[in-house]
């Protein structure tokens, strides 16, 4: 099947041709007919499967081929959990709108609120946004969604994990009319919370599930290494980074503080490294991602803020310096390599404190991992029995070195899935708490806001 087999506007086919894209991926093949027919869709698809175009193409087609319900209101709103993902989708959308008369705008947390209000007043047809900031603009009446024709939620499970359910409901209420179409993409469709929000947002949706989230990703070689303690992990990491076949590497740590510490250590060892965390100002985050995607840095050390969807073609190695708290996050992290048919390696360093998470990943992936070892860097640790593993989770860590002592100063709270602020996860885009103020727009201090 080719894209030309779908009833897509010639300008869209030309843009695809320009991007070198001719044959639809599986999710595109299945989602396009449903979305193009104007039906609601609930879809899950593996990371890197081409799902962005699976919703952007029908969105473009709908706008090109139908009359607007309202002259002023945005016609398509695309919501994503993090600013980086939103920027990536916005980048692809811009390539598609470039060929047309339609206007697109991104509305992200961390950017100037008043500038955004002015941008919204210019009546863009497409908005790509993080939900907290859109909810703020709705509240301030900078934006109305009565004429919204298509609402798209990408990584919906992640938005719910980050506590955005109230904002999603507010957005839904603002665009509550019969002619609205809704497309929802989520890593998994079998969470209770996903089904609950789907009942509110979607109208008799079709379901598409391509490749279960636990399915093997054939282009990613997954390796597990035992690690005894922080210094041992650092030695293993240095060894991995020195391998000549490496192009670019993303290293995932548990906390923001760890990203900084590890990035400085790697920089001291001569690796060109940057640290990305949600604490940074948006402009700094953009600069870091931009430099990394252009290959100016070899290593990006980050938390789960970069675990989803980011499309970085030259990443040949992903290292889980710390195992993620939630097994789905493992799938997203390793999916930063092996993109679009390229081969990648994902190495996880598993110490006593990672053991529980490792077991969860195994059971989530329905796979039994063999552990590898690196010559000259053997581990004494070789897994925990059930009893010992409970103790390890509850025990206070013993500081064995200066660096380990530093790590000790930041004890990690037990993960709670339903809270907005999840330990070790860079929340990045939580909504601001701003009181409703009437127009005209007045100066607001949102320089460091994280919505």
Residues found near ligand AMP in the complex (CB under 6 A)? 21, 23-25, 28, 48-53, 309, 311, 339-340
Considering just the CA atoms, what is the radius of gyration of the chain in Å?
A: 22
Pick the closer one to ligand AMP by CB: 56 or 323: 56
3-state secondary structure 331-395: HHHHCCCCHHHCCEEEEEEECHHHHHHHHHHHHHHCCCCCEECCCCCCCCCCCCCHHHHHHHHHC
Give min distance, CB of 21 to ligand AMP, in A: 4
Please check whether residue 108 is in contact with residue 132, taking contact to mean a CB–CB distance below 8 angstroms: no
Nearer CB in complex with ligand AMP: 31/422 = 31
Helices H / strands E in the chain, number of each:
16, 14
CB of 24 to ligand AMP, least distance (A): 5
Question: What is the helix (H) or strand (E) element at residue 152, kind and residue range?
Answer: strand 150-153
Per-residue DSSP letters for 222-241?
EEEEE--SHHHHHHHHHHHH
CB of 92 to ligand AMP, least distance (A): 7
Least distance (Å) from ligand AMP to the CB of residue 65?
Answer: 21
Give yes or no for a contact between 183 and 43, defined as CB atoms under 8 angstroms apart. yes
Smaller CB separation from ligand AMP, 294 or 398: 294
Q: How far is the CB of 242 from ligand AMP (least distance, A)?
A: 29
Q: How far is the CB of 313 from ligand AMP (least distance, A)?
A: 7
Residue with tokens 């992903």: 318
Cβ closest to ligand AMP, residue 50 vs residue 324: 50
Of 46 and 133, CB closest to ligand AMP: 46
**b/e per residue 393-421 (b: at least 16 CB within 10 A):** eeeebeeeeebeeebeeeeeeeeeeeeee
Cβ distance to ligand AMP smaller for residue 57 or 117: 57
Within 10 angstroms of residue 356's Cβ, the number of other Cβ atoms is 16
């Amino acid at each position: 099947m080719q894209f030309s087999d779908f009833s897509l506007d010639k300008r869209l086919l030309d843009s695809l041709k320009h991007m070198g894209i001719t044959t639809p991926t599986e999710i595109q093949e299945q989602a396009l007919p449903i979305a193009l027919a104007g039906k609601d869709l609930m879809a899950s698809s593996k990371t890197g499967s081409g799902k962005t175009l699976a919703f952007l193409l029908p969105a473009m087609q709908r706008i090109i081929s139908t009359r607007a319900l309202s002259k002023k209101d945005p016609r398509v709103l695309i919501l994503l959990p993090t600013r980086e993902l939103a920027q990536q989708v916005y980048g692809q959308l811009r390539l598609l709108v470039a060929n047309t008369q339609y206007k697109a705008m991104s509305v992200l947390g961390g950017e100037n609120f008043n500038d955004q209000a002015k941008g919204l007043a210019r009546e863009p047809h497409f908005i790509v946004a993080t939900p907290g900031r859109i909810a703020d603009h709705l509240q301030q009446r900078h934006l109305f969604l009565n004429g919204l024709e298509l609402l798209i939620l990408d990584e919906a499970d992640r938005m719910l994990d980050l506590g955005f359910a109230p904002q999603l409901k507010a957005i839904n209420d603002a665009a509550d009319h019969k002619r609205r179409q809704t497309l929802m993409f989520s890593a998994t469709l079998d969470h209770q919370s996903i089904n609950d929000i789907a009942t509110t947002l979607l109208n008799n949706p079709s379901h598409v599930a391509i490749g279960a989230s636990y399915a093997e990703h054939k282009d990613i070689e997954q390796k597990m290494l035992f690690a005894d303690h922080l210094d041992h992990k650092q030695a293993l990491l240095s060894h991995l980074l020195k391998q000549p076949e490496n192009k670019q590497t993303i290293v995932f740590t548990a906390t923001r503080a760890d990203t900084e510490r590890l990035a400085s250590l790697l920089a001291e060892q001569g690796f060109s490294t940057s640290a990305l965390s949600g604490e940074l100002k948006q402009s700094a985050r953009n600069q870091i991602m931009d430099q990394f995607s252009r290959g100016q840095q070899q290593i990006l050390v980050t938390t789960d803020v970069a675990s989803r969807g980011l499309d970085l073609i030259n990443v040949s190695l992903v290292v889980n310096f710390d195992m993620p708290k939630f097994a789905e996050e493992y799938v997203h992290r390793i999916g930063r390599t092996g993109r679009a048919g390229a081969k990648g390696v994902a190495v996880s360093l598993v110490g006593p404190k990672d053991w529980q998470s490792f077991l969860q990943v195994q059971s989530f992936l329905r796979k039994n991992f063999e552990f590898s070892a690196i010559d000259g860097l053997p581990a004494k640790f070789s897994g925990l029995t059930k009893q010992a593993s409970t103790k390890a989770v509850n025990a206070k860590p013993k500081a064995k070195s200066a660096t380990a002592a530093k790590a000790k100063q930041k004890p990690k709270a037990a993960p709670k899935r339903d809270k907005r602020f999840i330990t070790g996860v860079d929340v990045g885009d939580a909504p601001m708490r701003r009181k409703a103020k009437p127009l005209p727009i007045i100066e607001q201090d949102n320089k460091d806001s994280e919505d």
